[in-house]
Amino acid sequence: MTTQQLSGPVIRTQGLTRHFTRHKKTVEAVRGLDLEVGHGELVAFLGPNGAGKSTTLRMLTTLIEPTAGTAEVAGYDVVRQRGQVRRSIGYVGQGNAAGHAQRGRDELVSQARAFQMTRRQAHARADELLDAFDLTEHADRPVSTLSGGQRRRLDVAIGLVHTPTLLFLDEPSTGLDPQNRVNLQEQVRRLNDEQGTTIVLTTHYLEEADAIADRVVVIDHGRVIADDSAARLKSGLGDLVVLGFESEPAAASAARRVGLLAGAAVTVADAEVRLRVAHGRDLAPGIVVDLARAGLDVRRIEVVGPTLDDVFLDLTGRSLRETATDSAEPTLEEVAA
């Protein structure tokens, strides 16, 4: 790498755009993305199905070309310097990379050989990765007999064979059970912390973005609608305070009083009052005491800090959890286009 490539951002896009034509209709999958990612960052692209996350990743990894705009990855242009980009990155797509009849160790060795390592180097690298991803004891089994979590870890290991400084992971934990998901997230976090590998992953799991990413780029309808740390994205939203009452009339009276008291928008449903307010945790005891003085006993109280779903709801009016699936698997011709 040149000095410029080391000191500049590891990813820089300007007006990055990708359209697809399907049934004579144009789908604007990615619309004018401007993005910079620095060395050593762990960035999550978060958004609902069909938001344009995978299409962005496919352009950055040179699998498809942009319709317009530019992107540089590791200092190289993704269209004019494809080969250099590919040698600088690791990419783990949504499907499984490993062949089913092969043993995990052989997959890693073949991949290492494809990167011009000698047989000895390839075996040493395979051992290192098997160890790092807790796969040593499963290394000599056919891939088809591995669990979903083990196979996914093998996929990530395969993406790391040539020690890229930048790793792209497309929905790494989709389809994994919660335990395997957390396990994989820990490995990804460790890779970033200990090796300094820059990682860009896509996810529609709010908890995943929140738990492991330094930075969350929220994408919707092909555009970036927010870009910050999860903590900062959430900090402007306040806590959700839920108060339960004995009856609906009691809740209605309490809502009027709480609205005045907290100066916040209050909603009532059944015998429950909900309000979103800054420092809700600190305010809640005072609210309960005030209501008791007015003869309104709070039966149940819950204070919930804001989530990334609240951020998405605030930005779009839709919940990310409930956003309907709107994805279409591209055909091979379309990917090659």
Site residues for ligand ATP per CB under 6 A: 20, 22, 27, 29, 47, 49-55, 202, 204, 327-328, 330, 334-335
Tokens (6 digits) for 87: 């040698």
Quote the least distance from Cβ 147 to ligand ATP, whole Å. Answer: 23
Report in angstroms how near the CB of residue 21 gets to ligand ATP at its nearest: 7
- Do 157 and 108 contact (CB within 8 A), yes or no? yes
Q: CA–CA separation, 311 vs 238, rounded Å?
A: 11
Residue 92: CB minimum distance to ligand ATP, A:
14
Q: Which two tokens stand for residue 105?
A: 């160790």
Residue 143, classified by CB atoms within 10 Å of its CB into exposed (0-12), middle (13-18) or buried (19+), is buried
Distance in Å, CB of 333 to ligand ATP, minimum? 9
To the nearest whole angstrom, how small is the minimum distance from the Cβ of residue 45 to ligand ATP?
A: 8
| 45 or 245: CB nearest ligand ATP | 45
Residue 103 or residue 181: which is nearer to ligand ATP going by CB?
Answer: 181
Give me the residue whose beta carbon is nearest to ligand ATP. 330
Instruction: Determine the distance from the C-alpha atom of residue 80 to the mean position of all C-alpha atoms in its chain, rounded to a whole number.
Output: 28
- Give the C-alpha distances (Å, rounded to integers) separating 138 from 12, 128, 133: 39, 14, 11
Residues 248 and 288: their CA atoms lie apart, in Å, by 17
Instruction: Select 106 or 207, whichever has its Cβ closest to ligand ATP.
Output: 207
Element (H, E) at 76: strand 76-77
Per DSSP, 230 falls in state: H
Q: Least distance in Å: CB of 50 to ligand ATP?
A: 4
Give the 3-state secondary structure of residue 138.
helix
Helix (H, G, I), strand (E, B) or coil at 165: coil
**Closer CB to ligand ATP, 103 or 204, in the complex:** 204
Q: Which is nearer to ligand ATP, 47 or 104 (CB)?
A: 47
Q: Who's near 157: CB < 8 A, 6+ residues apart?
A: 108, 129, 130, 132, 133, 135
Q: Which is nearer to ligand ATP, 194 or 333 (CB)?
A: 333
How many CB atoms lie under 10 A from the CB of residue 19?
A: 15
Supply the minimum distance, in Å, between the C-beta of residue 298 and ligand ATP.
41
Query: What does the alpha-carbon distance between residue 94 and residue 178 come to, in Å, rounded to a whole number?
Result: 18
Q: How far apart are CA 166 and CA 181, in angstroms?
A: 21
Closer CB to ligand ATP, 229 or 331, in the complex? 331
Q: What are phi and psi of 139, to 5 degrees?
A: -65, -25
Closest approach of Cβ 94 to ligand ATP, in Å?
Answer: 7
Q: How far is the CB of 334 from ligand ATP (least distance, A)?
A: 3
CA dihedral sign, ordered 308, 313, 316, 320: positive
C-beta closer to ligand ATP: residue 54 or 187: 54
